[in-house]
């Protein structure tokens, strides 16, 4: 039987490859983006309590209303956007599922989707699966800033969507207010939609503020904004997120969502609804991770690796050009095998695979592990 693959060039993701290699070698895994510490004990108890009370069957397709109401309260408080919980908020099985549904709901075969790179690796295969055409727009180290005039020239009559991510994985850069206004002006009088990946919304450093698409009325009317409880509450394995979009976009999003997973984890939703009653549980996240960033940079100070600016997320890029001329994938594998620290090659986040001698570390780890990693990398 002949199988005609929709993703013929896709293999096992680099995150799985490097995590597996780290496990085989007993290496410190700073490659895949997940914390090695536990979520709140109170939050875990709430999940169990809701299981005991019977929250073990399907939740409503859009998600529990109590949770959607909490999210609406949060977004109005933080970004000044008044939302209708019934018509504009959908709970999903993680941010990646929301991203796929946002793309699948609107991108038709032959439609073009602009992907700003380096970017999260699920965007391209999601576009290709539904027959869309990815149009990469590559940024350059070390600042990875967007030239909006150059980006505007990529828009054609076939452009259906542009994918943005702020704070950005993997670069740790931000889109600021001037960027969001430039994007809004660029798309005025077009039918181009925006998939705004904002899963690291609460992880910003040095006094920076999150420029959510929700803040800008003209931009929000064409946006599907994606968020993640896993990134905020240290429980990526719970796979719970949400999508916020205007009613007319939400209706189309839910058509795909209901046949993709139908609904997200019921007891987790109920627990998050209770837990979000206290905003301090997420409002302190920037300070928490800024200490982690600073701890990791301090641990790396004795190495020959050069840090790039990091304004958000829990990822730090390092330039290794003073250490080796190897391609980044080969270098990451050697770091894992010979020195016991796993990282991710930055080329994995690009279509054209540049050889920039830059790799990504995840610092969402306990302090002792970050210190050990620095000690090992000082020997490279």
Task: Give the tens place of pLDDT for each residue, 221-267.
Answer: 999 999 999 999 999 999 999 999 999 999 999 999 999 999 999 99
| pLDDT score of 158 | 98
Residues 266 and 313 in one domain: no
158 shares a domain with 263: yes
C-alpha dihedral (98, 106, 65, 93), degrees to nearest 10 = -20
Task: Kindly report the three-state secondary structure assignment for every residue of the chain.
Answer: CCCCCCCCCCCCCHHHHHHHHHHHHCCEECCCCCCCCCCCHHHHHHHHHHHHCCCCCCCCCCCCHHHHHHHHHHHHHHHCCCCCHHHHEEEECCHHHHHHHHHHHHCCCCCEEEEEECCCCCHHHHHHHCCCEEEEEECCCCCCCCCHHHHHCCCCCCEEEEEEECCCCCCCCCCCHHHHHHHHHHHCCCCCEEEEECCCCCCECCCCCCCCHHHCHHHHCCEEEEEEHHHHHCCHHHCCEEEECCHHHHHHHHHHHHHHCCCCCHHHHHHHHHHCCCCHHHHCHHHHHHHHHHHHHHHHCCCCCEECCCCECCEEEEECCCCCCCCHHHHHHHHHHHHCEECEEHHHHCCCCCCCCEEEEECCCCHHHHHHHHHHHCCC
Does residue 64 share a domain with residue 28? no
> Which of 279, 301, 317 lies at the terminal end of a domain, its last residue?
279
Tokens of 204: 């910003």
- The CATH number of the domain holding residue 121 is 3.40.640.10
Residues 291, 162 within the same domain: no
Q: CATH no. for residue 314? A: 3.90.1150.10
Question: Could you tell me if 220 and 367 lie in one domain?
Answer: no
C-beta separation of 220 from 81 below 8 A: yes
Domain match, 227 and 318 both: no
Residue 323 lies inside a defined structural domain of this protein: yes
Out of 243, 261, 279, pick the residue that ends a domain.
279
68 located within any domain:
yes
Tokens in use for 338? 């010979």
| pLDDT at site 116 | 98
Assigned domain for 250 exists: yes
- Is 38 domain-assigned? no
Residue 297's domain comprises: 14-32+284-377
Q: Please tell me the total count of domains within the chain.
A: 2
Residue 51, in any domain of the structure? no
pTM of the model: 0.96
Task: Say if residue 113 is in the same domain as residue 137.
Answer: yes
Per-residue pLDDT 10s for the chain (380 aa) are: 888 888 888 877 888 899 999 999 999 999 988 899 999 999 999 999 999 999 999 999 999 999 999 999 999 999 999 999 999 999 999 999 999 999 999 999 999 999 999 999 999 999 999 999 999 999 999 999 999 999 999 999 999 999 999 999 999 999 999 999 999 999 999 999 999 999 999 999 999 999 999 999 999 999 999 999 999 999 999 999 999 999 999 999 999 999 999 999 999 999 999 999 999 878 889 999 999 999 999 999 999 999 999 999 999 999 999 999 999 999 999 999 999 999 999 999 999 888 899 999 999 999 999 999 999 999 99
Domain assignment present for residue 247? The answer is yes
- Domain presence at residue 44: no
Q: Residues 160, 247: one domain?
A: yes
As a whole number of angstroms, the distance between CA 195 and CA 330 comes to 33
Q: Is residue 119 located within the same domain as residue 28? A: no
Domain boundary pick from 239, 254, 279: 279
Based on the fold, state whether residues 264 and 371 are members of the same structural domain: no
Do 92 and 232 share a domain, yes or no? yes
52 lies in a domain? no
Q: Same domain, yes or no, for 340 and 309?
A: yes
| Other C-beta atoms lying within 10 Å of the C-beta of residue 375 | 13
């Amino acid at each position: 039987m002949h199988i005609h693959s929709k993703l013929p060039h896709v293999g096992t993701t680099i995150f799985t490859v490097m995590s597996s290699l780290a496990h085989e070698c007993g290496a410190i895994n700073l490659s895949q983006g997940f914390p090695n510490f536990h979520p709140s004990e109170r939050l875990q108890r709430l999940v169990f309590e809701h299981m005991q009370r019977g929250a073990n069957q399907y939740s409503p397709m859009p998600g529990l209303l109590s949770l959607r109401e909490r999210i609406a309260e949060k977004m109005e408080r933080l970004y000044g956007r008044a939302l209708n919980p019934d018509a504009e908020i959908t709970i999903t099985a993680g941010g990646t599922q929301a991203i796929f549904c946002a793309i699948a709901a609107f991108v038709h075969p032959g439609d073009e989707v602009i992907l700003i790179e380096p970017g999260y690796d699920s965007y391209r295969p999601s576009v290709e699966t539904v027959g869309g055409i990815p149009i990469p727009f590559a940024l350059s180290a070390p600042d990875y800033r967007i030239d909006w005039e150059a980006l505007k020239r990529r828009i054609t009559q076939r452009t259906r969507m542009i994918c943005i991510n702020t704070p950005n994985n993997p670069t740790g850069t931000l889109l600021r207010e001037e960027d969001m206004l430039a994007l809004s002006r660029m798309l005025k009088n077009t039918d181009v939609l925006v998939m705004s990946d904002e899963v690291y919304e609460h992880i910003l450093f040095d006094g920076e503020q999150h420029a959510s698409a929700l803040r800008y009325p003209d931009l929000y009317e064409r946006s599907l904004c994606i968020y993640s409880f896993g990134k905020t509450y240290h429980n990526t394995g719970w796979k719970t997120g949400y999508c916020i979009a205007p009613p007319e976009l939400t209706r189309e999003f839910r058509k795909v969502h209901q046949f993709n997973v139908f609904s997200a984890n019921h007891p987790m939703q109920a627990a998050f609804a209770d837990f979000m009653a206290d905003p301090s549980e997420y409002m302190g996240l920037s300070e928490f991770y800024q200490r982690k960033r600073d701890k990791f940079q301090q641990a790396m100070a004795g190495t020959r690796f050069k840090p790039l600016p990091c304004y958000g997320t829990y990822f730090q890029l390092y330039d290794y050009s003073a250490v080796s001329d190897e391609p980044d994938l080969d270098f990451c594998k050697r770091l894992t095998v010979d020195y016991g620290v796993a990282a991710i090659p930055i080329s994995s986040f690009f279509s054209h695979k540049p050889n920039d001698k830059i790799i990504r570390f995840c610092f969402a780890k306990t302090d002792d592990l970050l210190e050990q990693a620095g000690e090992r990398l000082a020997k490279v």
